[in-house]
Amino acid sequence: MGHGHGHGTAAPSSASGRYLKSLTIALVIGAGFMVMEFIVGFATGSLALISDAAHMFTDVLGVGMALAAILLARRSGPTLTRTFGFYRAEVLAALGNAILLFGVAGYVLVEAIGRISDPPAVPGLPVLLAAAAGLVANIVSFMILRKGAEESINVRGAYLEVLADLIGSVGVLLSGAITLLTGWRYADPIIGVAIGLFVLPRTYALARRALRILFQHAPKGVDVAGIQAELGGLKGVEDVHDLHVWTLTSGMEVASAHLTIAPTVEQAEVLTEAQNLLANRYSIEHATLQIEVPQCAQRCRELSW
């Protein structure tokens, strides 16, 4: 009553895999300017610049994890013991990026609060120049990763970190300019706090999306009830049950379901129509569908979960 087949032995490329080159370029750019900002930040004592450099560090580390996850997924596709391969490594990398960003934002907020009572003097010109260079680097990386962020949660994690760095560089530029023109010492810690607060809601959204995938919730925007109704409306289908829809990794949605049909109905026709429905209307190419006659469907109703 079931239907099984293989989909080939080569590991398919996830949405992230198409942006390997873009991530590599962003990694090289970020690493170079991160070192520069740390050196200038500690030399001048600028919390805003150190904050921006720390964000760039998480950017570099996050992009590195994204690259490692893609390479790991490519190296080993599904096997008899790893039936889904290493594609979830990309989602874990995105969650790791979110955790890093939470940590950096928390550090900056704590450090800034400690400086509010007695803000140190920070030379404006070196901070201004370093931030300008960092801004250029972030703009380049931002443009490189922008398209991939729309398709891949893994690339989106790196993209959000670059975006946070870009905003941070703008903030540091503002801090340096205010310090240079007015000598106001509070500009640096205040803008450091603002950078940290800007990152938090975006980090929360990334973590929430990664956890949805890891908990195997239905993909956002997919109407599971609608899928069940449309499958149940196919000619010859009497019941649809044990329906599951989840995301393996970005760009790889998966579904499984049991379809109960009358004994006189042609199974192959129902299976073909159901597969076409899922692929054409819901972009679910990988669907495992079990065709059952009523007497065989009784066992499903006896299952506890």
Q: If you average pLDDT over each of 125-129, 200-204, 272-276, which comes out highest?
A: 272-276
Q: Decide yes or no: CATH 3.30.70.1350 for domain 224-302.
A: yes
> Is domain 16-214 in CATH 3.40.50.300, yes or no?
no
Other beta carbons within 10 Å of 100 = 21
0.85 exceeded by pTM: no
CA torsion sign for 58, 59, 63, 69 is: positive
Token pair for 32: 């170079």
Span 28-32, average pLDDT:
86
Share of the chain above pLDDT 70, in %: 84
More confident residue, 182 or 66: 182
Position 211 scores a pLDDT of 92
Lowest-confidence pick of 6-20, 173-187, 290-304: 6-20
Strands of the sheet with 286-292, listed across from one edge: 237-249, 252-261, 286-292
Q: Does residue 292 or residue 44 have the better pLDDT?
A: 292
pLDDT greater at residue 210 or residue 8: 210
SS3 108: helix
pLDDT at 120: 64
pLDDT class of 246 with cuts at 50, 70, 90: very high
CB contact set of 296 (below 8 Å; sequence gap of 6+):
1
Q: Which of 63, 81, 251, 48 is nearest to 141 (CA)?
A: 63
pLDDT tens by residue, 127-157: 778 778 878 888 888 888 887 777 777 677 7
Q: Is the pLDDT of residue 42 over 70?
A: yes
pLDDT at residue 160, rounded to an integer: 75
- Which pLDDT score, from 0 to 100, does residue 6 have? 44
Separation of alpha carbons 149 and 154, rounded Å: 8
Q: Give dist(CA 47, CA 52) in Å, integer.
A: 8
Q: CATH 1.20.1510.10: which residues of the chain?
A: 16-214
Reply yes or no on whether the pLDDT at 111 is more than 70: yes
Which segments of the chain belong to CATH 3.30.70.1350? 224-302
Q: What is the pLDDT of residues 80-90, one digit of tens each?
A: 777 777 778 77
Residue 18 pLDDT greater than 80, yes or no? no
pLDDT for 140 equals 87
What value does the mean pLDDT of the chain take? 79
* Nearest alpha-carbon partner for 17 in 56, 57, 63, 71: 71
pLDDT at site 16: 57
Please give the average per-residue pLDDT across 58-67, as a whole number. Answer: 74
Residue 10: pLDDT band with limits 50, 70, 90: very low
Using the CB atoms, write b or e for 147-186: b if 16+ within 10 Å: ebbebbbbbbbbbbbbbbbbbbbbbbbbbbbbbbeeeebe
User: For residue 2, what pLDDT is reported?
Assistant: 45
